[in-house]
Amino acid sequence: MFKKIVFTLILAFYLTEFNAQKLVPNIPLETFKGTYTTMNKELSEDNFYILSFWATWCVPCINELDALNEVYDELSDKLNFKVLAISTDDARTMRRVRPLVNGKSWKFDVLLDENHDLKRALNISGLPHTVITKQNQILHRRVGYAPGEELDLLDKLRQYELE
Amino acid sequence: MSLNRFALFVVLNFFIFDGVSQSTNFFYGSFESNGVYYQDSESSDYDKKFASNSYLNLKYNLNNKWVFDLQTESYLPLALQNYSDLLEDTFVSTFSINFNPNDFNFTLGTIYEQFGSGMLLRTWEDRQLGINNSLWGIRTSYKKQNLRFVLLGGYQKKANTISEGKVFGFDSEFTLYEDKNTFNSLLVGLSYLGRLEAPHYVSYPFDDLTNSFSVRIDYNTDSFYLNYEYAYKSEDGVVKFNTVSETFVKNGNANLLNAGLIKDGVGIDFTFRRLENMGFYSERVEFGSPFFETTLNYLPALTKQHDYLLTNINVYQSQPNISFQDPSLMKAGEIGFQLDAYYNIKKETFLGGKYGTKISLNISKWNNINGNYDYENEDYDLEFLGFGEKYFSEQSLEIRKKWSEKFSNIILFVNRYYNKRFVEEKVGEINSKILVFDNTLLLNGEKSMRFEIQHLFTEDDKKNWLGYGAEYNFNYNFSAYFNSIVNYGNELEDKPAYSNFGMSFSKNASKFMLSYGKQRGGLMCYGGVCRYVPEFKGLSFSIITSF
């Protein structure tokens, strides 16, 4: 049994080291209109996108999005990026998303991944989970949010901008 | 070679030969492992034992048209406390081949799907709860401009086996109107789900095939929205003590109405729901299974989902089912509503201050459906808008305020009524008030700290609780925390106390957590679904990584 655990762990780390998901899968997501869009369509512009996976009940997720919202106006043009907040709220809390977004005056676009199709396709286990992408290529991803970490995320964007 | 080993072998070979790929063909996946050494557990099966649940998911993308997906799960040496007994050893849990040319999508194997809001069908995975009720079968969908159609059929996954009942159905959605430049739209949907399960030895007075359907309408504008969904389930035997009744036969129905008002800085949402005998399982006798095995639909509690330790005591669970316990405790469903309001007080105003203030309010109330219940003859006649015995009510107010560049806090107040007798079918009613202060302080560099204090006030049940905790972020990757809740109002000599400390390290898409402490037993709820967990003390670890 112990051997199996060790084997699985080594395999997992091996996979992490040598392979990485390269593209954002073209999964359909719901809009506030109830209609569907696809990731290819949403990520079609030639700028950076920050995909932030969140839920209305996830306190650190809201903290991260509140913090990004604070700097969004000032920096989104300068650093040439857009934020797409992807709600993973299911039928229990999904109806709360649009009022919450308006109540918080968030400026970015929000999409709904109600049955976690995109979350599953990107193999996301914990929230918040943030992905930086450009032209569908995944450049960076991270799990969790510590206060102030949005600044680190923006630093990453500056680095990519220079490359 | 077993199927498990064969599948793993095939996938690993794929992986090895793919080492240098740079096109659109690539491997990706995730690994998650959660383990506990139970130093001390209420459950004698776990006392002084180690248990772990691990999930390895591998996907292969071929030409952006095909996705092969395989998940292996390990429960070694045994599954964590209160996961299904059927989860043991290592096995291939899900496997699918997905083909996605333009407007069509075909899946063979494991299917995750939701029809409408899930009142007929929702298959999904929730590892925290040990739910994976995916279907094993075929699914095809077609999507073109204003039409979306899904057709599927198969057997349902039941831990490491499949259910006896067959499931098949379709979901369709038509966009009748959509304005590209505004939020204006009008959609209608129609779904059907059939469950075919032949009873074994008895000839029942209802059909082997249970039919269910739902209709929905969804209307949106820039400042208003309205949705309504109606679901119906045909006659079926009521299940009591894992036995399908030959005499108590009822149909079920559900009404879900939702409306909202939207303005910049303001959002209001109202939901009304009435559920009558809507529990639906691919195997009838699994009805009410604590592990949610073979559950077909998703009928979560529509209440505010909380994230703090004391707010997660006495959480409501939805009551969609018939339960005739005794003549004083008879239920056939639930009726109630929920209201949410969000308001952003603008910056540079008297109440908003320099950084603005964010307020959210939630009100919910859920009752049994009023009507004439007949215990002797096992029957009932319900009023459509009859509010019977109250199950639960809650009012909560949350204020988020940033005071300076460095300091912000959240204040949460909750007033709650919980009818333990009607919800859990135990004894008592609990009125409680909860107050939470959650404070965040940014320090120099990447350092920050969070400290919280919470109190639960009640004269009922186990009386008052106090909770406190602190978290220190050394940098964006590494943090340590401590938290404790004490039931100091309890009449027991030894006041129950649950303290935990731990650390977490995250880098990119990986996270490692280690903690030690005592966990409260009782009803644990995640995502509106609750389960009993025995109290334990031990060392826990968790690894998650996506690649």
Q: Which of A1-5, A19-23, B132-136 has the lowest mean pLDDT?
A: A1-5
**Model confidence at B231: pLDDT above 80:** yes
> How many contacts, defined by CB atoms under 8 Å, are there between A and B?
230
| Contact at CB, B28 and A143, closer than 8 angstroms | no
- pLDDT tens readout for residues B102-123: 889 999 999 999 999 999 999 9
- pLDDT tens readout for residues B364-397: 999 999 999 999 999 999 999 999 999 999 999 9
| Contact at CB, B340 and A99, closer than 8 angstroms | yes
Q: Any chain A CB within 8 A of the CB of B31? A: yes
Quick one: pLDDT at residue B96? 97
- pLDDT tens readout for residues B414-452: 999 999 999 988 899 999 999 999 999 999 989 999 999
Q: What is the ipTM of this complex?
A: 0.89
Quick one: pLDDT at residue B25? 86
Quick one: pLDDT at residue A100? 93
| Contact at CB, B220 and A124, closer than 8 angstroms | no
CA distance A100 to chain B (A): 6
| Contact at CB, A146 and B343, closer than 8 angstroms | no
Helix (H) or strand (E) holding B424: helix B420-424
Between CA A87 and CA A115 the distance in angstroms is 10
Quick one: pLDDT at residue B270? 97
Q: pLDDT-derived band of residue B2, with 50, 70 and 90 as boundaries?
A: very low
Q: Any chain A CB within 8 A of the CB of B546? A: yes
Please report how many Cα atoms fall inside a 13 Å half-sphere around the Cα of residue B235, on the Cβ side.
10
What does the pLDDT average to over B488-495?
Answer: 93
A16 → chain B, closest CA residue: B547
Q: pLDDT-derived band of residue B411, with 50, 70 and 90 as boundaries?
A: very high
**Model confidence at B32: pLDDT above 80:** yes
When CB atoms are compared, the residue of A5, A35, A149 closest to B76 is A5
Scanning the structure block, which residue is given the tokens 């075919």?
Answer: B196
Between CA A77 and CA A152 the distance in angstroms is 18
B108 or A40: which carries more pLDDT confidence?
A: B108
What does the pLDDT average to over B135-140?
Answer: 97
Q: Which amino acid is at B132?
A: N
| Contact at CB, A34 and B124, closer than 8 angstroms | no
Find residues 70-109 of chain B whose CB sits inside 8 Å of chain A: 74, 76-77, 90, 100
Quick one: pLDDT at residue B22? 43
What does the pLDDT average to over A69-96?
Answer: 90
Q: Which are the contacts of B427, defined by CB distance < 8 A and separation ≥ 6? A: B420, B421
Q: Any chain A CB within 8 A of the CB of B172? A: no
For chain A, what are the domain ranges?
A: 22-162
Q: pLDDT-derived band of residue B265, with 50, 70 and 90 as boundaries?
A: confident
- CA-closest candidate to residue B253, choices B273, B236, B232: B232
DSSP lists the bridge partners of residue B536 as B41, B519
Q: pLDDT-derived band of residue A10, with 50, 70 and 90 as boundaries?
A: low
A23 → chain B, closest CA residue: B24
Q: pLDDT-derived band of residue B455, with 50, 70 and 90 as boundaries?
A: very high
Quick one: pLDDT at residue B102? 80
CA distance B456 to chain A (A): 20
Quick one: pLDDT at residue B20? 39
**Model confidence at A8: pLDDT above 70:** no
Contact B364, B302 (CB under 8 A): yes
Considering chain B, what percentage of its residues have pLDDT values greater than 70? 94
What does the pLDDT average to over B318-331?
Answer: 93
Q: Which of A3-12, A98-107, B177-186, B369-378 has the lowest mean pLDDT?
A: A3-12
Which residues in chain A have their CB less than 8 angstroms from residue B30's CB? 123-125
| Contact at CB, B410 and A18, closer than 8 angstroms | no
Quick one: pLDDT at residue B527? 55
Alpha-helical (H) ranges within chain A are 2-18, 39-42, 59-75, 97-103, 117-121, 149-162
- pLDDT tens readout for residues B331-373: 999 999 999 999 999 988 888 888 989 999 999 999 999 999 9
Which residues in chain B have their CB less than 8 angstroms from residue A104's CB? 342, 344, 358
What does the pLDDT average to over B483-496?
Answer: 94
Quick one: pLDDT at residue B216? 97
Q: Any chain A CB within 8 A of the CB of B290? A: no
What does the pLDDT average to over B519-526?
Answer: 75
Contact A119, A53 (CB under 8 A): yes
Query: How many residues are there in chain A?
Result: 163
Q: pLDDT-derived band of residue B525, with 50, 70 and 90 as boundaries?
A: low
What average pLDDT does the structure give for chain A? 87
Quick one: pLDDT at residue A4? 62
CATH class of the domain at A22-162: alpha beta
DSSP lists the bridge partners of residue B295 as B281
Q: Which of A25-34, A75-84, B9-18 has the lowest mean pLDDT?
A: B9-18
Q: How many other C-beta atoms can be found within 10 angstroms of the C-beta atom of residue B540?
A: 20
Contact B389, B368 (CB under 8 A): yes
Q: pLDDT-derived band of residue B289, with 50, 70 and 90 as boundaries?
A: confident
What does the pLDDT average to over A90-113?
Answer: 92
- The region that residue B63 occupies, defined by phi over 0 for left and psi between -120 and 50 for alpha, beta otherwise, is left
Quick one: pLDDT at residue B290? 81
